[in-house]
Structure formats: structure tokens, C-alpha cells
Amino acid sequence: MTLRNGSGQDGRMLVTSRIGGSGVADGRHPSGGAGASGFGGPGGPRRPRYRLIRRIAGGGMALLLLASATSGLVLWTKYEQLVADLPTVDGLRTYQPPVMSRLYSGDDRVMAELAAERRIFVPYSAIPDRVKNAFIATEDQKFYTHGGVDPFAIIRAGLTDLTMHKGHRPLGASTITQQVARVMLLGSNAVSLQRKAKEALLAIRIEQTLSKEKILEIYLNEIYLGAGAYGIGAAAQTYFNKPLDQLDDAEAAFLGGLPRSPTNYNPYRYPDAARARRNWVLQRMAEVHDITPEAARAAQQEPLMPQAFTRPGPVPGSEWFAEEVRRQLIDRYGVDTTMQGGLSVHTSFDPHLQQIATAAVRDGLAAYDRDHGGWRGPVGQLDGIGAGRTTPPSDQWMPGLTAAPRPAGMLDSWRLGVILSPATGEVGWAEGTPAAASPRTGRLLARDMAWMRRWRLPRAGDLVLIEPQAEGGTVALRQIPKVEGALVTMDVRTGRVLAMVGGWSFNASQFNRATQALRQPGSSFKPFVYLTAMEQGISPSQKFDDSPVSYGTWHPNNFEKDFWGPTTLHDALRESRNLVTIRLAAHIGMKSVAAMAANLHLVDSMPHVLPAALGAVETTVLREAGAYATIAAGGRLVTPTLIDDVQDRDGRVLWRPDGIGLQPAAPTQAPATTPPASPAGSSPATPLPAPPAPADGPEMTDTRPQVASPASAFQITTMMRDVIRRGTGVQAGAGIDYPIAGKTGTSQDFNDAWFAGFSPDIVTIVWVGFDTPQTLGKNETGAAIAGPIWNRVMKAVLADRPRLDFPVPEGITLARYDTGIGVTVDAFKPDQVPGISSDLYANVTGALTSADTGAENMPDSEDDMAASPATRQVGSTAAPPPGAPGQPGVPAAEKPPAGGDIGMGGLY
């Protein structure tokens, strides 16, 4: 269609051409030709330029935006996950590092340390500047300016790691704050991007929460610096044996170089590497102007000479004591607080007395073993040692001797020796540390050679235990005994345990026989039977019949297999007469005896059977020490304690033993004063109250229960004094010119030997026996085996103490009288007539029954004697025959005897 203007184009095409830039207003082509119809012809408008490029660019931008959004979403999700798993940093505000606990002896010396990590906390204000500067110059020069993360250090470390060859350790870029985050909050050293991201986030949070000073304090006290030292305080002590404030620049620089690799810079193993690292740190400190170049060069010239540090404790011989204290602390506070809570534990341990007790027990066990065990032969053998009369050269036997293992239980004063000449008894041993040992030779004592040959002929190359003697170039033959022993010495009034021996050697066996071994006390239990009788008003001069008696299938007897007839309780306890004790227990009732033993904390419970009166129960040495101390303390319950007090890291007292304490004394009121006389006609003057007088000082309070009356306890003490003076305990009291009381104890078949005794202020209990109960030998009683050990310890204890007498309670009368066997002195209560044995059955209307004697719980045989109470009814008892005061009847058995004669029960 032709338009009015004759152009031959419609208006739409014109507009399109204008838009496309290919037409003009008059409808002509720019080239001068007439326009052609359509766009495809040569004369039509051109396509838009760079359409494809624009489309590609637009699509790329869209993809980029989509990828950015997706990446942002992924990163945000990952960030949320990291943040959700991050621990809180609020706990660092009240940071308290794990600090070792210390045990102190009675004289306030460190006797042992308890620690999972050995650390000495040093507050920021007490850390010397040179130490701070050494660590900052080495680990984080921009510590005071960055916000927790150092980006430039990260870039530098990344570029360095890219250029390093494979297998090389990556260069670290963690700031001090990041290290605190890793150690305190993450607890992981895993090399991963996730861990590094968490570390960086936590570091930023820590910087926002804590001051730089607090962050540095945490870091310097937490970091591990090798050789078991955590923190700079312990490291200064470990490497240089001096406190932190005494370190010089060179020593501080050495510590500052350790965090990178404490093992590789150990000055003992790698002194050259340690010295080079120290010098590098000094150079860095000079570069950042912490020290002058001259001071750095001077410090670099100093030799690196670490001083060996000996960790305190355990004090020799204190292992049993310290281990028992540790066990009690764990029971009370748990493992973490005990090992890392920084507790200060003050104990009652007496180092000097402990050495005496340990030596006494060991010598006693060694003497028994030598007399009864014989020589059991060598502990090993070295090959290649000739049997000639000439001594082989040391290079022939020293290498093998130093490499031979040391037997468990070998004492520090002993040496492992090798027999060089069996004919002459020549022995060689190594003196000094294995790395610097020097050969020594000596000759066995003649008596030891004879003892050895009596059991086995020695051979060249035999490894034996010896102890060099002070003079004459001789050595004594030694042997680790198989028999064991235990001892406890404690203060009578307070219950403070002063010394404890749990066996021959703590290194050989950590089982504490003083606190953990349940053994039968034998006749050392008898005083508690007599104490029960005293509480019931029975007099020490009361007589019971010492004659044969049977209860069902049980036929007890005296140790001596003889009978004395009517015998006072005093004589019966002094000579440990079994039959009198049984009749006494039957009269007062085993329920009463059991109650007394439980009240004394000697046992938790015990069977109500008559054999228990002879010691057929189980207890520990420590418990028996508390029970005997209660008697010595006038019946006031004494509970053994090893710990005087426990303090936390801030010095607050967490625990003290109950019972004895101090309280401020109440002020005393002075008499009222009279005012001046009133004028005539006025009312009389009223006396003016006087102000209270100041108190003299604190008063001691004792809230412990009174288990037995002071009078009854003193009666038993008086009787036991005669046990040592002229009874079964004479051997234990030999040479002791102090008031002492005690009792022997020997259990069934001589399996356990005891001696328990006390002075007015000290009680000591000794036990000897085998871990697996077996006989110590015929007639091996507590007096013969345990008595000499007790004697040696008590002599040493009392030598440094004033002479004290047992206090006589009010109303007690001491009287001398004839018991029928001899003249003695006893204590009598106000209603008792000295020397009189009353008729205990005057008001009894019927015969004793099984309920009175405890016979309803009698075991059927010897094997059942120490077991739980039986429930069979044995039978009724007959009335006591005339002429036997206090003698219960003999029950008739309901069936034929099933057990043998166990007359040794309780023994001696």
C-alpha cells in the first residue's frame, strides 16, 4: 500500500526503522536509495550490535549472583553450625587452672604432691616482664594490637606453606589468644579448617570478653613446656630449680622458645638445639626492643645449664600414709578436685617417728624370716663367671649386673650383688646410677656364709641381695621376707595418726595392711570384754572359774592347757586365760560385748557367739588403735585421723575432724560495785553492774561421745599395766620406765600375732602375719613376734616425751590386795569392796539360758567360728555348781560333736 507521501512504507515500519537506526524522517535510506520492503533485504535495517555478547554477559551475571547467593547461604549455614557448637567463653572470666594439691607433714614440710598436671599458678602481676616479653616476641608480636586474629600472619603462613616441600611441618599463624581458645575451650590439636575456624571465632570472642592481661595470664599458666611442667611457674622450677622472679634474660628466653616443641628443645636430650632456640628468642627480643642488642649478645654467651629439680615427696617411708590420705580425699572430694584442685592438706604425719617405725617393722620381719624361712636361694644368675679362687675382672660381670632387674621389695640401702668366689664369699656390686656405675667388691660376713650354706651351696654368678657394711669391707646377706606386718602409732587424746606402716615395701605391694587387711585380733580383743563387764559394775577382783567348759561341739581351752580354778578377772586378763574370758562373756552376754565393740568402732558388727570373745572377729590395725586409744582416753571415743585440715587454693578451710575444737571463751562477770552512800532521806543506792572482764583465751571443746565411763576405762588400764609388768606382755615392756599398758594377741593356729599398748599419750598397735593366712609357727605368739617391734617403737617415742601418769578418775580407789596368786593393785569404784568377789547369782531365780550366753548363735564347728552367726539352738544351760562363783553351766549338746578341740581359739 502506498502512503500519501508516496514513500511506499507504512507508519509502523517507519517507527521501527527509527528505533533501529536504519531509516530517516523522509523515508529514505542513508545510502540514498529507496527503501525496500522487509528486513531481510540488502536495503533493510541492520541487526542490533553485540546481542550475543550481551546475552552471555547477562546470563553470566545471573549465574554469578545465583552462585554468590548460594555460597553466602552455605557459608551462613556453616557459620551458624560452627557458632552453635562453640563453647562459651564466660567460664574464662573466673579462670582457675588445674593446680596440684600438696600434702604437708606435721612439721609443715611438703611430704607429697598430688597432680595430674604439675602446675604452679602465677598471677599476672607476679610474672616478670622479661618472661612476658620472651613469649610475646616469640609467639605473637602483635598481641597487644590485634583483635584475636592476625590476618597478615595467616597470609604469611599460607604463602610459606605453599612454597615448602611436602612432609614439612606447616608454619603456624595462631595468636596467643587463638592458642588459649584451642587449649582451654576446644581441647584439640587436629589440623583442619573447621578447627582453625572455630579457633578464630573463639579468639575474637575471648578478646571481646577478657582483657589482654587476663588472656596472657591464662596462656602462661596453661601451656605445656615439657618435662611434665605445665605453666611457667612449674617450668622455671623444673629446668632451673628456682622461682620465676629469679630468672635472667637467657633463662626467660629459653622458656619462651619451648612452646613450639618442648620435646625437641629439651636441654637434657638436645642441648645444642635448645641453645640455638634460646639464642634466636634473644635475637627476636632485641629486634622488638624488649632488650638491648648488647644484653642479647651477653645472654647468648651464657651456657645453658639446667639445674635438676627433685619433685617433693614422698618423704621416705610416707608412701603408706600419703596413699591413705589420697584415698580419703578422693572419697570426699572426687578425683578432679583431689588431683587438680590445688588443695593444701595438713596431716599429722611425723617423719622422724615414721622412720623409726618403718625400720622396726622391717627389722622384725627380717628377723622372723631369717629364723623361720631360711635362705631361699639367689634372685638370679649371671653366666660366664668363673668359679676360681681369684676374683674375675669387673668388665666380666659389670655389664650383666647393671642390666639385671632389681627385685620388687629391695630396700634403698641394699645392693644387687653377684657372687664372684663361693669359696671366699667375695661379692661384687655396682655403686651409683646405672649410667655412671662403678664396681665395688666385698666379702660376705662369716655368719651369713654359714646361714647360706645351711640351706643351699652358693655358686659363682649367683645374684644375691646384699647390704654394704660401714667397716671392714664386708657385706651382709639380705633377703626379702614373705611374712608381712603393719603398725599404727597415734596420739591418744586427739586420734592424730603419727606413723603408719602398711607392709614390708610399698613398691612391692600397695596393699595397706594397716587399713585394708581384715584380720582376727585374737586375745587383744579381750580387754573390750572386760571393759563391758566393768561397765556392768563387776569388780576387777571378781572371780570366775577357770575349769573345763564345753558349749555344744565347741571345747575351748587355755593356751597352757591347765586350769586355775576360781580366778580374779585381773589375773585372768594379765595371763590371758581363755576359759575365764568365755565364762565372763557368757555371764554379761555377747550382745553387750558386741555393742561395746561396735560403739568403739572396732567392728561394724560381729556375731553374738562366745568364740568372738576370744578374738574370732575381724578388724584392722587402725581400728584397733582407735579402740585402745578410747580406753587410754578415759572412755571418750577416739577416731583415728590422718588429716588435720583441708584448705582450698584460696586458703579457706574445707574440712577439719569433728569432736575437738576451739571456741572463744565467754567473758567473766566481775562483782557488782557499790555506789557512794546516798544522802539522808533518799532511796538507797542500787549496786552498779561491773563491765564483763575480758576472756583469757579460747576454750577447747570436746563433743565426742563418752563410750565408757572414765572409771571403767581406768580399771581396764590398771589391769593392762600389770599385763606388761608381769604378765604376757613382759617382753614388750622391757626397758621402758614409763607408765604403759597393753595386751598380747594371737589368733587361731598362730596365724596372727598382735601387740596393742599405750602410754597416757601414745598408742601403738603392731600386727605380723602372712597375707594369705597361715601359721607363723608353733608357740609364735604376739608377745614373741609383735612385742619386740612395739617395744622398739615405744622406747623411741617416749624418750622425747615427759613422763606422764594415767589420771585417776574421781571416786576411784586404788587398793592393794592378794588375788590368791599374788599381790596386785586394782582400781575400785565407790560401791565396790577391794579384793572381794561377790556372789553374782545371789538374786538369780533360774539358770542361765542360751539367750543370756549368746549360745543360740554358736557355730557347729571350728570352720564356722569366724563366719556369720548360726541360727541353731544349742540347748539350755544348767545352774552353776556350788563353789564356783560366777561360773555358768555347761550346755548339753543336742547332737554328737562335729568339730575338734579348738582350745587354741583366741590363744594368748
**Identity of residue 60:** G
Q: Does one domain contain both 271 and 399?
A: no
Residues 6+ apart with CB under 8 A from 623: 601, 602, 603, 640
Domain-embedded: residue 432: yes
For 227-265, the pLDDT digits (tens) are: 889 999 999 999 999 999 999 999 999 999 999 899 999
* Predicted local distance difference test score (pLDDT) of residue 64: 86
Last residue of one domain, picked from the residues 264, 283, 300: 300
Percent of the residues in the chain that have a pLDDT greater than 90, as a whole number = 57
| φ, ψ at 743 (rounded to 5°) | -155, 140
* Predicted local distance difference test score (pLDDT) of residue 844: 47
Domain-embedded: residue 295: yes
Query: How remote is the C-alpha of 670 from its chain's centroid?
Result: 52
CA distance linking residue 386 with residue 317, whole number of Å: 40
CA distance linking residue 681 with residue 676, whole number of Å: 15
CA distance linking residue 441 with residue 425, whole number of Å: 10
Distances 245 to 131, 238, 253, 511 between C-alpha atoms, Å: 9, 14, 14, 42
* Predicted local distance difference test score (pLDDT) of residue 159: 60
Domain-embedded: residue 396: yes
**Identity of residue 820:** G
CA distance linking residue 787 with residue 765, whole number of Å: 10
Q: Does one domain contain both 283 and 423?
A: no
Residues 6+ apart with CB under 8 A from 621: 486, 487, 488, 513, 514, 515, 517, 519, 765, 766, 767
Point out the least confidently predicted range of 140-149, 742-751, 787-796, 806-815.
Answer: 140-149
* 3-state SS, residue 613: helix
Structure confidence at residue 1 as a pLDDT band (50, 70, 90): very low
Q: Does one domain contain both 176 and 266?
A: yes
Q: Does one domain contain both 292 and 381?
A: no
Q: Does one domain contain both 261 and 137?
A: yes
pTM above 0.85, yes or no: no
Q: Which residue has the higher pLDDT, 271 or 182?
A: 271
* Predicted local distance difference test score (pLDDT) of residue 904: 36
Domain-embedded: residue 156: yes
* Predicted local distance difference test score (pLDDT) of residue 842: 55
Checking phi first, is residue 750 left (phi over 0); if not, alpha (psi -120 to 50) or beta?
left
Percent of the residues in the chain that have a pLDDT greater than 70, as a whole number = 77
Last residue of one domain, picked from the residues 423, 457, 478: 478
Per the annotation, the verdict on 394 as an active-site residue is no
Q: Does one domain contain both 288 and 388?
A: no
Q: Which listed residue (523, 592, 759, 837) is catalytic?
A: 523
Query: How remote is the C-alpha of 214 from its chain's centroid?
Result: 33
CATH code for the domain in which residue 235 is found: 1.10.3810.10
Last residue of one domain, picked from the residues 266, 285, 300: 300
Q: Which listed residue (17, 101, 105, 139) is catalytic?
A: 139
Q: Does one domain contain both 277 and 380?
A: no
* Predicted local distance difference test score (pLDDT) of residue 62: 86
CA distance linking residue 887 with residue 587, whole number of Å: 8
Contact criterion met (CB below 8 Å) for 827 and 814: yes
* Predicted local distance difference test score (pLDDT) of residue 553: 84
Q: Which residue has the higher pLDDT, 329 or 205?
A: 329
- Burial bucket for residue 400 (CB in 10 Å: 0-12, 13-18, 19+): middle
**Identity of residue 192:** S
* Predicted local distance difference test score (pLDDT) of residue 482: 95
Provide the number of structural domains found in the chain: 2
Q: Which residue has the higher pLDDT, 253 or 155?
A: 253
Domain-embedded: residue 798: no
Per the annotation, the verdict on 421 as an active-site residue is no
Domain-embedded: residue 136: yes
Q: Does one domain contain both 133 and 282?
A: yes
The three-point CA angle 583-586-590 to 5° equals: 135
The alpha-carbon radius of gyration of the chain (Å, integer) is 45
Q: Mean pLDDT score of the chain, rounded to an integer?
A: 82
Strand partners, 441: 428
Q: Is the pLDDT of residue 724 over 90?
A: yes
* 3-state SS, residue 545: strand
Q: Does one domain contain both 388 and 242?
A: no
CATH code for the domain in which residue 441 is found: 2.40.50.140
| φ, ψ at 325 (rounded to 5°) | -65, -45
Cell numbers given for 127 = 610474672
Point out the least confidently predicted range of 198-202, 247-251, 263-267, 696-700.
Answer: 696-700
Residues 6+ apart with CB under 8 A from 510: 323
Strand partners, 224: 230
Q: Is the pLDDT of residue 473 over 50?
A: yes
Q: Is the pLDDT of residue 891 over 60?
A: no
For 826-838, the pLDDT digits (tens) are: 999 999 999 888 8
What average pLDDT does the segment 296-309 reach?
90
Q: Does one domain contain both 385 and 282?
A: no
Domain-embedded: residue 571: no
Q: Is the pLDDT of residue 528 over 80?
A: yes
Say how many residues make up the chain.
908
For 408-437, the pLDDT digits (tens) are: 999 999 999 999 999 889 999 999 887 788
Contact criterion met (CB below 8 Å) for 717 and 732: no
Residues 6+ apart with CB under 8 A from 335: none
Point out the least confidently predicted range of 249-263, 384-398, 451-465, 833-847.
Answer: 833-847
Domain-embedded: residue 255: yes
Contact criterion met (CB below 8 Å) for 268 and 306: yes
* Predicted local distance difference test score (pLDDT) of residue 874: 31
Domain that holds residue 145: 117-300
* Predicted local distance difference test score (pLDDT) of residue 34: 42
Contact criterion met (CB below 8 Å) for 578 and 509: no
Sign of CA dihedral 155, 160, 165, 171: negative
Q: Is the pLDDT of residue 607 over 90?
A: yes
Contact criterion met (CB below 8 Å) for 581 and 613: yes
CA distance linking residue 668 with residue 676, whole number of Å: 25
